[in-house]
Amino acid sequence: MSFFLFGILLLSCTISKNDTEKPGKQDNPEENVVMTMEDSIRRHVESQLSIQGTEEYGLEMYEAECTGDESIDRVITVNLLDRALKEAIASGDVAKRAEMGYMGLFNYIIFQDGASGTLSKPIPIPSSPQAALHVEFDHIVSNRYNDIMVDYRIRNSGFRAFFSVANGHTIQVFQAQQFDGLGTDNPIGFIFEYREGRGTLAKEILVYKATFENPAFTDPDKVYSFTPERTSTGELERRWFFRPKEYKYFTDQN
């Protein structure tokens, strides 16, 4: 699995406009109760992703200031492993889908603006649903607010997608591989470093080759819950810089 192949894979989900639904305190005329924020978020998730009452799903919420307005925003991750398993059974080809890690549109992120409470439409992260998404925040595009970094898995490979929120849009600005070949004889690893950009407030992203301890897995499903600790070799693989006009990262070879 090459370092650059999956850059193409995710181009379809680079920009997602915010939905207009604004959760919060809402009266239920039948029960005369006030919905909590989490209830409203779940209602939005279930409606947008057509989740039925009997369907199980995972939901996690992460908080940080991502828009520069000093309000606390949320990133909600949704995992549809139950749906992936049921679809595999219905297809009659469970073994093949399991071998591919049930790859598909079963992991999503949703952004909630802290000031308005509006929720974006679900943004798909094509990946293996046996591993839930993991979210971190850092100042990448601007030092005024946080950008969103989403870690996801495709079989025995790990990737990170970078999102920035601008003018009400959640925009994917970069993605890169973190490791590949986990549990095989030919593992490869990468680690990211950030430094001040030239002519822009956005930081450059430096991708270095890395090494890591590579265990053997007797249970192939265990690979999804293991994240290797990588150590940089100091060998630069590629430097990426931000172009404000296109609002994404490019390398010198673009």
pLDDT band at residue 121, thresholds of 50, 70 and 90?
very high
Mean pLDDT for the stretch of residues 85-109: 95
pLDDT band at residue 139, thresholds of 50, 70 and 90?
very high
Res 137 pLDDT > 80: yes
The CA radius of gyration of the chain, in Å to the nearest whole number, is: 19
- Give the tokens for residue 33: 């109760």
What pLDDT sits at residue 22? 53
Specify the pTM: 0.85
H/E element, 248: strand 248-251
3-class DSSP state of 7: helix
Mean pLDDT for the stretch of residues 225-231: 95
Res 234 pLDDT > 90: yes
* Average per-residue pLDDT for the chain: 88
What pLDDT sits at residue 199? 81
Give yes or no for a contact between 22 and 37, defined as CB atoms under 8 angstroms apart.
no
What pLDDT sits at residue 198? 82
192 DSSP assignment = E
How big, in percent rounded to 5, are the helix, strand and coil portions of the chain?
15, 40, 45
Res 13 pLDDT > 80: no
- Percentage of the chain lying above the pLDDT 90 cut: 79
Q: CB burial class (10 A; 0-12, 13-18, 19+) of residue 58?
A: middle
What pLDDT sits at residue 28? 52
Residue ranges of alpha helices (H) inside the chain are 5-9, 37-48, 81-91, 94-99
* pLDDT tens column, 50-65: 999 999 999 999 999 9
Give yes or no for a contact between 84 and 101, defined as CB atoms under 8 angstroms apart.
no
Mean pLDDT for the stretch of residues 16-33: 48
What pLDDT sits at residue 77? 98
Q: CB burial class (10 A; 0-12, 13-18, 19+) of residue 181?
A: middle
Give the N- to C-terminal CA distance of the chain in Å, as an integer. 21
pLDDT band at residue 194, thresholds of 50, 70 and 90?
very high
Mean pLDDT for the stretch of residues 96-124: 96
Res 123 pLDDT > 70: yes
Residues 6+ apart with CB under 8 A from 205: 140, 162, 174, 176, 192, 193, 194, 239, 240, 241, 249
